[in-house]
Amino acid sequence: MNEKFHKPGPNRVSSVEGFTVALDIMGGVEYSDATGTTNVDSEVLNTPPLYSIALYTESLGLKDMPASRAEEILSNITGALEYLGYRVERF
């Protein structure tokens, strides 16, 4: 059992660390924490048996922030999406 995350709704994850991740299955991930909200470009890759989510590391929402902050956001998103059962690939 994963105590770090819980699922308050479809394709939405909240963390005990204070962030939320919402996946729009049509494309895009919304990441929110105490510092604000960031959108990260994504798409669903149909790679059976699990769906994969492609996260784009050069998304506009990540461009104007320090590399360490962008990496923190991408890592948090990855963990949250894996909790939902998706495989995550970065591009």
Structure tokens at 3: 């105590």
Could you check whether the bond before residue 66 is cis, i.e. omega within 30 degrees of 0?
no
Average pLDDT over residues 56-71: 94
CB 45 within 8 A of CB 54: yes
Q: What is the pLDDT of residues 5-50, one digit of tens each?
A: 999 999 999 999 999 999 998 889 999 999 999 999 999 887 666 7
Gap between the Cα atoms of 19 and 59, Å rounded: 19
Q: Give the pLDDT mean for 47-64.
A: 86
End-to-end, the C-alpha distance of the chain in Å comes to 30
pTM: 0.91
Helix (H) or strand (E) holding 7: strand 5-9
